[in-house]
Structure 1
């Protein structure tokens, strides 16, 4: 066909040319996508966004401005308010900015100017830099203490033999093995834990990082084997529905409930298990995650192999933070020992 006679492609419609029927279909698609996205979001993230919005509405009420007025000036003022008056941690303020912008977009169809949020975050970085230069104490809870293997063994040995103890053992050992955050433990469904000839394949889908699949082998010590611990819990709890939570609430009578654990409750169970074992360190929901990274590093495991379990990107500085220094006089943790001084 001669090029002169090629059909001219139709010019696409511009948004202001959409008819009523098309707008309705697009609106329905938006609503369906919002619902799907919210279902994928971890429960703790949803709760955090609600708290962020509550903080924002209180701030706007003080300034007597509408909550939809997220401009460069108001967002900077919000950062100043949280940093100077509320004394919030850097990471908390950064997340609250995200929570406000997400809520405005999803619930009010207000798209905040990216330059406005960029300006607010630049101010936040300036505040943190000045605080570091002034050698001010770091804000926030700090890093979760790593649950080392010796502590994990002791904690597991002190768990009761009843249904509560069987669940707690499985949570601790499987959580350690997949380097779980508390929300990841709470978010596991039965379908996410699959049997394999060599152990288990655990699909971590509810995660702050990218979804990952962790191959969990049988342990050499039956008392701390995560595979055996999981199978014991699954059998005792009679978990069969693949869409139900892997770890459940238990009534005080010992009856396993259909409801899953909240992230907060999953963390509380880990903390309580450490206290029952008489360990002075106050472990948190992230302690099993940090413990796996720390122990794997000390065992000489490849960094990529560790990142495959934790879900971190290659070269992640966050992963470095999980690999904690354990003994300042140990040759592995003290770079001065054994170098020839």
Structure 2
């Protein structure tokens, strides 16, 4: 029954009996399922989509879905790049999705890291050749940052009806917490707490670690995220702490109990920019990149910005936001002040 060894030493794995192996396997399954449940819904959905792509590939090439070898993963990359014409970031993520899914029940296949590395090296080679050939970039590219002048104009153009009240609150609060679209859609009423200085917003639905963002009252009432949130909460009569903070609205103007999907949250931000007549096509990620860009432009240090965005120390993504602003800073641009 897997009892401790009578020799005075711990049992080695080879000495486990059938009962102990079964109990350990059950624990592995339970822990895998629990870990999977902790992933944000949008991440789970992305992995499901990645797996469907992998299944289609395996069916076409007549190989089992569990055969994730160096050769098959490279062939998968080739299939996505040359036949499907997918973007670099999409292919990279689909590789990760396949590897993660294979680790879980019912497959329990641990893919050799060297096989994944070989596939990614091939992907990098494809991208390098495409750049050398000056091929058009694939995918949507980086989301344009929503700068403060654009945010002010967009908020000003929001209507005074219930739709405009919601959209204004989403834009201003989303900007203030540097929200991804899934984070904005995932907020519940209990995640937004009143404070004497403004709001404390617990961002729990996140692809990174959860974070709490202190959102102060704005100096300008028209762009104050705290006032905008309170106006929406009052107009929508939100009371249940477990309900979504931002809701669907029927075309008649009645606020629905259902929350927004991440896609819908992003669409609302895009539509608000278009209504304001701004030529740049903003996406759900634009408020996040906009906050990081404007905060750096205002002289905030990296640590203060990362506390809001949730970026890890040494994040290359955050580096990109910094460089957008720092490239014109006298201390970081070697051409400024040298006498040209």
Q: Taking structure 2 as the reference length, what is the TM-score of the superposition?
A: 0.88
Asked if the contact 1:146–1:324 (Cα under 8 Å) also holds between the matched residues in 2, the reply is: no
Q: Classify 1:339/1:300 alpha carbon distance in 2 versus 1 (closer, same or farther; 3 Å).
A: farther
Q: Classify 1:332/1:43 alpha carbon distance in 2 versus 1 (closer, same or farther; 3 Å).
A: farther
Could you list the per-position Cα deviations for residues 254-297 of structure 1 after superposition, in whole angstroms to 9, with x for gaps in the alignment? 22222211110000000011111121211100111111111112
Asked if the contact 1:144–1:283 (Cα under 8 Å) also holds between the matched residues in 2, the reply is: yes
Aligned pairs (5 A) from 1:123-134: 123-134=122-133
**Residue 129 of structure 1, CA deviation:** 2.7
**Residue 16 of structure 1, CA deviation:** 5.8
Q: Classify 1:98/1:280 alpha carbon distance in 2 versus 1 (closer, same or farther; 3 Å).
A: same
**Residue 110 of structure 1, CA deviation:** 2.0
Q: Classify 1:126/1:218 alpha carbon distance in 2 versus 1 (closer, same or farther; 3 Å).
A: same
**Residue 145 of structure 1, CA deviation:** 1.2
Asked if the contact 2:327–2:333 (Cα under 8 Å) also holds between the matched residues in 1, the reply is: yes
What are the ranges of 5 or more consecutive residues in structure 1 without an aligned counterpart? Answer: 1-7
In 2, Cα distance between equivalents of 1:339 and 1:309: 36
Asked if the contact 1:218–1:227 (Cα under 8 Å) also holds between the matched residues in 2, the reply is: yes
In 2, Cα distance between equivalents of 1:327 and 1:66: 50
Which deviates more, 51-60 or 26-35? 26-35
SS at match of 1:325: helix
Aligned pairs (5 A) from 1:1-341: 10-15=8-13, 18=16, 22-23=20-21, 25-105=23-103, 108-323=107-322, 325=324, 336-341=335-340
Q: Classify 1:164/1:20 alpha carbon distance in 2 versus 1 (closer, same or farther; 3 Å).
A: farther
**Residue 143 of structure 1, CA deviation:** 1.2
**Residue 111 of structure 1, CA deviation:** 2.0
Could you list the per-position Cα deviations for residues 8-39 of structure 1 after superposition, in whole angstroms to 9, with x for gaps in the alignment? 87443455655565455445544443443333
In 2, Cα distance between equivalents of 1:247 and 1:14: 54
Q: Classify 1:248/1:23 alpha carbon distance in 2 versus 1 (closer, same or farther; 3 Å).
A: farther
In 2, Cα distance between equivalents of 1:90 and 1:230: 38
What are the ranges of 5 or more consecutive residues in structure 2 without an aligned counterpart? Answer: 1-5
Which deviates more, 243-252 or 66-75? 243-252
Asked if the contact 1:247–1:261 (Cα under 8 Å) also holds between the matched residues in 2, the reply is: yes
In 2, Cα distance between equivalents of 1:17 and 1:251: 63
**Residue 54 of structure 1, CA deviation:** 1.3
Q: Classify 1:193/1:28 alpha carbon distance in 2 versus 1 (closer, same or farther; 3 Å).
A: farther
Which deviates more, 86-95 or 8-17? 8-17
Asked if the contact 1:325–1:333 (Cα under 8 Å) also holds between the matched residues in 2, the reply is: no
Which deviates more, 233-242 or 321-330? 321-330
In 1, Cα distance between equivalents of 2:143 and 2:151: 15
**Residue 185 of structure 1, CA deviation:** 0.6
In 2, Cα distance between equivalents of 1:146 and 1:176: 10
Could you list the per-position Cα deviations for residues 182-216 of structure 1 after superposition, in whole angstroms to 9, with x for gaps in the alignment? 11111112222122111111121222222222111
In 2, Cα distance between equivalents of 1:332 and 1:179: 27
**How large is the RMSD of aligned CA atoms in angstroms?**
2.6
**Residue 97 of structure 1, CA deviation:** 0.6
